Homo-oligomer: A and B are copies of this chain.
Amino acid sequence: MSSNHALVTRLREHLGTAAVLTDTDVTDAYSRDMMPLAASGKPLAVVLPSDTEGVQAVVKACAEFEVPIVPRGAGSGLSGAANAIDGCVVLVLTKLDQIVEIDEGNRLAVVQPGVVNLDFRNAVEKHGLFYPPDPSSYDWCTIGGNLSTNAGGLCCVKYGVTTDSVLGLEVVLADGSVLKTGRRTVKGVAGYDLARLFVGSEGTLGVITQATVALKPLPQLPSTLVAAFNSTEAAGEAVARVVREGLVPSLMEIMDATSIKAAEAYLKTDLGTSADCKALLLAQSDAGGEVARKELAVLEQICVDCGADLAYATEDLEEGKMLLQARRVVLTALEMYGVWLTDDVCVPRTRIAELIAGCERISEEVGLRIAVVGHAGDGNMHPTIVYAPDSEEEFARARTAFDAILEVALSLGGTVTGEHGIGRIKREWLAKEIGEVGIRVHRQIKQALDPGNLFNPGSMFSL
């Protein structure tokens, strides 16, 4: 206890009293992310430094006192990777919230981790530029969390995930030193690609305090297509055909029958689909003008050829937003039936229908509603399990379903996480996916960069 007290005193000396929180009513609010499956502990303290030097001070102090650090951003994560462990220091990066630079001439920006994704998007948009990564929580998640989890979103089918935008990073290492890695140029092969090693490492290797990211030209306003199918196989075949024909829509989402019904009930409307509609595809083109018209015309024809009952394209922005609304409300709509637990798997794009079939089978087996929505264009699906909030027994069945879905994804040649990460809920699944040699290499790299297991110990893989 006196050692803990000494650490808190040290932290307050460095950061000021206001930036070091120990009141458990307050620290509880920083002790977990949005994933109900993951356990969380009681932190010794929550610290909110406001610059790189402050982060260094925290790391050095915690290293000296051998107290683990759990770094976090806004806490929108869905893997428990930001959950506190008992006696740790939670290192909150939200006060490092400056957009340091927007360089139009080189289409890049330098940004601190605490900047909210949407604020950053809006800031670069004012310069005619586009930062693609758009996780669903983009209006409150932070760039730092996005980097740590290598976040994706709806844009990925055309623009890739977070790591595809990263040029360079500033990282505070376990000894408190500052690593500047990567570059400001669009190409560069000087040394190991350390930036991309830290991206997606979920806070286990260091603390990202600044990022240099590449920006894209602002795309045109999107045109939108919706297509309804009376079987998931037909919708899956349409996705596979889109890929095979070389189309790259800027968005391509899928909703299964359970998702459609939930959205219809929530929105108190029918989506214009027939009673036996089993899947909706929603696609967009942001190529603009004649090109977008052509892209959507080809998409529409593919959907019709694959047996769509309905296929409708529009250039009207508001109408497009309304159509996408059905996709966006699914998780909220599911709350009509209970609380939800969303999974995150990615399968080869030819096997989406098989994944949905697997989820239907699991739903019957566990006796719980499972709605499948996902980023069809890249095979990244989010089967979402609904259970009663106060039933431990249903929660247990939900957990069973969660794992069974991962098993199906692996059996289809997929991965156990497309964009949410491993964190504290899929550790054993990481081992299943990458095998013993893969885990050994993870441990070797962790040991090399963080020999004292200071950063997020026990997250992602066991030590």
A-side interface residues toward B, CB under 8 Å?
A: 103-107, 128-129, 149-150, 152, 156-157, 161, 163-164, 173, 177-181, 183-194, 196-197, 199-201, 205, 216-218, 240, 243-248, 290-291, 346-350, 375, 378-380, 413-422, 426, 429-430, 433-435, 437-438, 441-442, 444-445, 447-449, 460-461
Contacts and interface: CB of A to CB of B under 8 A. Distances in A.
A104 B417 CA distance: 23
Nearest to A181: B438
Nearest to A344: B189
Nearest to A245: B217
Contacts of A460: 191
A129 to B, nearest CB: 8
State the number of copies, please: 2
24 contacts: A105-B240, A105-B348, A105-B350, A106-B348, A149-B189, A164-B164, A173-B441, A179-B437, A184-B348, A185-B415, A186-B378, A187-B346, A189-B417, A189-B422, A191-B434, A191-B442, A192-B441, A193-B196, A193-B197, A194-B441, A217-B245, A217-B246, A445-B448, A445-B449
Nearest to A193: B196
The 9 A-B pairs with the shortest beta carbon distances in the complex, nearest first, are: A217-B246, A448-B448, A188-B415, A105-B350, A185-B346, A444-B448, A187-B418, A186-B378, A196-B196
Nearest to A108: B348
A422 B193 CA distance: 13
A418 B194 contact: no
A442 B349 contact: no
Contact of A187 (B128, B193, B246, B378): B378
Contacts of A245: 217
Given A178-B437, A179-B437, A445-B449, 16 more contacts: A105-B349, A129-B246, A161-B187, A163-B196, A173-B441, A180-B435, A181-B434, A186-B378, A187-B379, A189-B417, A189-B421, A190-B416, A190-B426, A193-B197, A196-B196, A291-B291
Contacts of A197: 192-193, 196-197
Contacts of A420: 189
A216 B179 CA distance: 34
Contacts of A449: 441, 444-445
Contacts of A106: 243, 348-350
Contacts of A164: 164
B107 A186 contact: no
Contacts of A445: 192, 445, 448-449
Contact of A348 (B185, B378, B437): B185
B189 A150 contact: yes
A186 B217 contact: no
Contacts of A348: 103, 105-106, 184-185
B105 A188 contact: no
B193 A433 contact: no
B418 A189 contact: yes
A199 B196 CA distance: 11
A187 B419 contact: yes
Nearest to A186: B378
Nearest to A206: B441
Nearest to A429: B190
Contacts of A433: 190-191
Given A105-B240, A180-B434, A197-B197, A218 B246 contact: yes
A181 B189 CA distance: 21
> Of A422, A433, A437, which is in contact with the most chain B CB atoms at under 10 Å from its CB?
A437
Given A152-B187, A187-B419, A194 B291 contact: no
Contacts of A247: 217
A191 B430 contact: yes
Contacts of A346: 183, 185-188
A171 B216 CA distance: 33
A179 B191 CA distance: 21
A445 B196 CA distance: 14
A156 B188 CA distance: 11
A413 B415 CA distance: 38
Given A179-B438, A194-B438, A290-B290, A185 B444 contact: no
Nearest to A205: B192
A420 to B, nearest CB: 7
A312 B348 CA distance: 44
Contacts of A192: 197, 200-201, 205, 441-442, 445
